[in-house]
Amino acid sequence: MKRVVITGAGTINALGHDVPETLVAMREGRCGIGPLEFRDVERLSIAIGGQVKEFEAEGRFNRQQMTLYDRFTQFTLVAAKEAIAQSGLEFIGELAARAGVVLGTAGGGVSTWDDNYRAVYEEGKNRVHPFVVPKLMNNAACSHISIEYNLKGPSFTVSTACASSNHAMAQAFQMVRSGMAPAMVTGGSESMLCFGGVKAWEGLRVMSKDACRPFSANRNGMVQGEGAGIFVFEEYEHARKRGAEILAEVAGFAMSSDASDIVMPSKQGAARAISGALADARLNPEDVCYINAHGTGTAANDKTECAAVADVFGRHADDLMISSTKSMHGHLIGATGAVELLACIMALRDGVIAPTIGYEEFDPECALDVVPNEAREAKVDVALSNAFAFGGLNAVLALRKV
Amino acid sequence: MSVKDKVIGIIAEQAVLEPSDVTMDSTLEDLGIDSLGLVESIFAIEEAFDISVPFNANEPEQSDFDISSVAKIVEGIEKLVAEQHG
């Protein structure tokens, strides 16, 4: 089996339009959540989110591209540009033939659905733009990366709600580890912050009206975010030979299914994914210094996740740090694991643990070191990233310092 | 139909019971209604009475809407109907 390393990272999210800006915000514990701005927002009872601001697609993309790129594709291409540039890879010849793209998204082109349903239902129009289908399809973003960068190997999109990115990155990891591909572009993208997207979530009554406060006793729900996180996963020797900068090693992963409830999380399902990732990476529980939590800020997730961590790590659960950066960038649904992987890279490479901001009251059901409100310096050799989706589908990645 | 009968009808349908099996002192738990069933019931109530019910599933005890028994739910809805259509 090959070793797999990360040689490029890119993002756009409510905290920043690139990786350096995002990491500075995480380090400073800045909150990217604020009032939502889009059409009909006044008809929503949930009016906050981690929206990407000051992002003008016009100017970045030409007119023809604009007709094909939903906002989730735009985010993907912006993040992919940063990640691939950092990696220094040029996809030509044999590398291009074997490298592909595996991305996660839960909703795909949600605002394209929204805009066009509005046109035909509300405005009574009887005609939509000819590119509505290629614009809204879940694999649009994946395909546009493949087209833009000449990636001709295996490419597809994974959709497992809030675990989409972690499932996608696990697939890309497996492909590189097995020798199937020398490099893969992977991560995820999501853009559900439009009237229909937020209205659907409102119905579940799990959204907070004021803030995302993971692990805090007074937490009252999740806050949605948007954006993308894209990475280049590369075979270690391939990266070493060309002298590429290595951000971190992807050491292992595991996936599990709760097989119980469509929305309520399961401690056992989460614990099996966490311990499975450790076993796959051949790590001992004591090796783990930091966990980037799923930490949605809902009553159910946070206590279940803490109980799962306590089960897997035993006494060591009290020695490790676990934080939820959703408090800052919101819950990016299908892109969340990808943006959160940046916090793991920061922990491993820079020795900085991103905080859980908005933490106000101790909750005995979340009695772990959640790195409240302020970032912390620590030497971290191994970090995990948790993602537990609606539908009971879990995926955990294990990263190691190189 | 009174508010009470309408609410009992909605809860009975959610619980897959006859309305006669739903008593005023029943709790949702007694009736086998879980958190998702509760959210669905509240949606049905909002639609039936054309009201908005302030309820967050993350903090049921802190919501302004008491769901501790069928009687409390009926009482809450009567109040909301009066406030929002009074």
Q: Phi then psi for B31, rounded to 5 degrees?
A: -85, 0
Q: B-chain residues within 8 Å CB-CB of A264?
A: 34-36
Give the SS3 label for residue B75.
Answer: helix
Q: What is the mean pLDDT of chain B?
A: 92
**Has residue A21 been placed in a domain?**
yes
The amino acid occupying position A369 is: D
Each residue's pLDDT tens digit, B18-66: 999 999 999 999 999 998 899 999 999 999 999 999 888 888 777 778 9
Tell me whether A219 touches chain B (CB under 8 Å): yes
Closest partner residue to A220 (CB to CB) among B39, B43, B58 is B58
Total number of residues shown for chain B: 86
The answer on A230 and A260 residing in a single domain is no
Each residue's pLDDT tens digit, A273-285: 999 999 999 999 9
In the listed set A181, A208, A241, which residue is the last one of a domain according to the structure? A241
Each residue's pLDDT tens digit, A337-381: 999 999 999 999 999 999 999 999 999 999 999 999 999 999 999
- pLDDT(A324) > 80: yes
The answer on A45 and A148 residing in a single domain is yes
DSSP code at position A350: I
Which CATH number is B8's domain given?
A: 1.10.1200.10
**Number of CB pairs, chain A paired with chain B, less than 8 A apart:** 39
**Has residue A224 been placed in a domain?**
yes
Each residue's pLDDT tens digit, A167-205: 999 999 999 999 999 999 999 999 999 999 999 999 999
**C-alpha–C-alpha distance, residues A144 and A321, integer Å:** 38
The Cβ of residue A313 has, within 10 Å, a number of other Cβ atoms equal to 22
Among A17, A144, A294, A329, the active-site one is A294
Q: Looking at the 3D structure of chain B, how many domains does it have?
A: 1
Contacts of residue B86, Cβ cutoff 8 Å, sequence gap at least 6 = none
The answer on A269 and A222 residing in a single domain is no
For chain A, the straight-line distance linking the first and the last C-alpha, in angstroms and rounded, comes to 17
Tell me whether A45 touches chain B (CB under 8 Å): yes
**C-alpha–C-alpha distance, residues A336 and A189, integer Å:** 8
**Has residue A275 been placed in a domain?**
yes
**Has residue A102 been placed in a domain?**
yes
Each residue's pLDDT tens digit, A123-152: 999 999 999 999 999 999 999 999 999 999
Q: Quick one: CA torsion of A398, A166, A338, A305, rounded to 10 degrees?
A: -70
- Output the CA–CA distances (angstroms, integers) from residue A319 to A273, A363, A368, B10, in the order listed: 20, 18, 8, 49
The Cβ of residue B27 has, within 10 Å, a number of other Cβ atoms equal to 13
| Structural domain boundaries, residue B80 | 3-85
**C-alpha–C-alpha distance, residues A125 and A120, integer Å:** 5
Give the least confident one: A1-10, A389-398, B16-25, B57-66. B57-66
In the listed set A193, A222, A241, which residue is the last one of a domain according to the structure? A241
Alpha helices, H only, A4-109: 19-28, 63-68, 71-87, 93-98
Per-residue confidence (pLDDT) for residue B85, from 0 to 100: 87
Chain B: which residues have CB within 8 Å of chain A? 34-36, 39, 42-43, 52, 55-59, 62
Per-residue confidence (pLDDT) for residue B35, from 0 to 100: 87
Q: Looking at the 3D structure of chain A, how many domains does it have?
A: 2
Contacts of residue A41, Cβ cutoff 8 Å, sequence gap at least 6 = A47, A195
Each residue's pLDDT tens digit, A246-279: 999 999 999 999 999 999 999 999 999 999 999 9
Q: Are A219 and A302 in contact (CB under 8 A)?
A: yes
Confidence tier at A59 by pLDDT (50, 70, 90):
confident
**Has residue A388 been placed in a domain?**
yes
| Structural domain boundaries, residue A92 | 4-241
